């Protein structure tokens, strides 16, 4: 009985750790950092599923109110990499409204205790600004122990 409890506890703990990490793949193309991270955080591809990344990359001319069009070489390279590393876990791969990570059910569940006024603070300004609170967000680590919420 103790053995079963230990195994169950270990599995549960590993699932919680996995939910807090979306490591940036080591084969990230330089074009992803140059083209995408010049305007926003270079989001780890495992935060969305393949359909969302395909939709985002096929609509770069209207990318969240901006024209983020790329030359064919860079668009192909980034698209293939995002789709290759997109999440296959149901929690993250369900198609997300408006292709926004912040509209995904998992994001909403993880941030349900964050009050609306917190998102408006000068140091945050938007739920999409992960790096404002998640100190290791650029590497895909979103554990609670690494959260720093900017003051009002």
Which residues contact residue 111 at a Cβ distance below 8 angstroms, ignoring those fewer than 6 apart?
Answer: 127
Q: Which of 4-13, 56-65, 111-120 has the lowest mean pLDDT?
A: 4-13
- pLDDT recorded at residue 9: 38
User: Residue 139's pLDDT is what?
Assistant: 86
* Residue 57 domain flag: yes
Q: Does residue 13 form part of some domain?
A: no
Give the domain range for residue 106.
23-146
Is residue 92 pLDDT above 80, yes or no?
A: yes
Query: Is 10 a member of any domain?
Result: no
pTM for the whole structure? 0.80
User: What integer best gives the mean pLDDT of the chain?
Assistant: 85
Which residues share a beta bridge with 66?
63
For residue 2, tell me if it sits in a domain. Answer: no
Q: What is the largest CA-CA distance in the chain?
A: 60
Interhelix angle 72-84/50-58, rounded to 10 degrees, is 170
Task: Give a yes or no: residue 14 inside a domain.
Answer: no
Q: In b/e form, how buried is each residue of 4-43, taking b as 16+ CB within 10 angstroms?
A: eeeeeeeeeeeeeeebbebebbeebeebbeebbeeeebbb
Residue 127, number of CB atoms within 10 A of its CB: 19
pLDDT tens per residue, range 132-148 = 999 888 888 888 777 88
Three-state helix/strand/coil letters over the chain:
CHHHHHHHHHHHHHHHHHHCECCCCCCCCHHHHHHCCCCCCCCCHHHCEHHHHHHHHHCHHHECCECCCCCHHHHHHHHHHHHHCCECCHHHHCCCHHHCHHHCHHHHHHCCCCCHHHHCCCCCCCCCCHHHCECCHHHCECCHHHECCCCC
Counting the structural domains of the chain, the total is 1
Strand partners, 63: 66
Residue 138: what pLDDT?
85
Is residue 5, in this structure, part of any structural domain at all?
Answer: no
Q: What is the pLDDT of residues 18-49, one digit of tens each?
A: 445 678 999 999 999 999 998 899 999 999 99
Asked if the model's pLDDT at residue 3 lies above 70, the reply is no
Per cent of the chain over pLDDT 70 is 86
The verdict on residue 12 lying in a domain is: no
Is residue 47 one of the residues assigned to a domain?
Answer: yes
């Amino acid at each position: 009985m103790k053995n079963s409890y230990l195994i169950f506890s270990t599995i549960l703990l590993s699932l919680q750790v996995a939910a807090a990490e979306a490591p940036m793949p080591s084969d990230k193309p330089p074009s992803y950092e140059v083209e995408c991270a010049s305007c926003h955080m270079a989001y780890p591809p495992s935060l969305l599923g393949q359909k969302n990344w395909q939709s985002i990359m096929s609509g770069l001319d209207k990318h969240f109110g901006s024209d983020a069009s790329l030359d064919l070489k860079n668009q192909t390279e980034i698209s293939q990499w995002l789709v290759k590393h997109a999440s296959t876990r149901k929690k993250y791969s369900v198609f997300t409204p408006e292709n926004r990570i912040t509209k995904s059910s998992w994001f909403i569940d993880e941030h349900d205790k964050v009050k609306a006024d917190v998102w408006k603070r000068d140091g945050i300004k938007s739920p999409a600004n992960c790096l404002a609170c998640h100190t290791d967000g650029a590497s895909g680590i979103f554990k609670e122990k690494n959260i720093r919420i900017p003051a009002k």
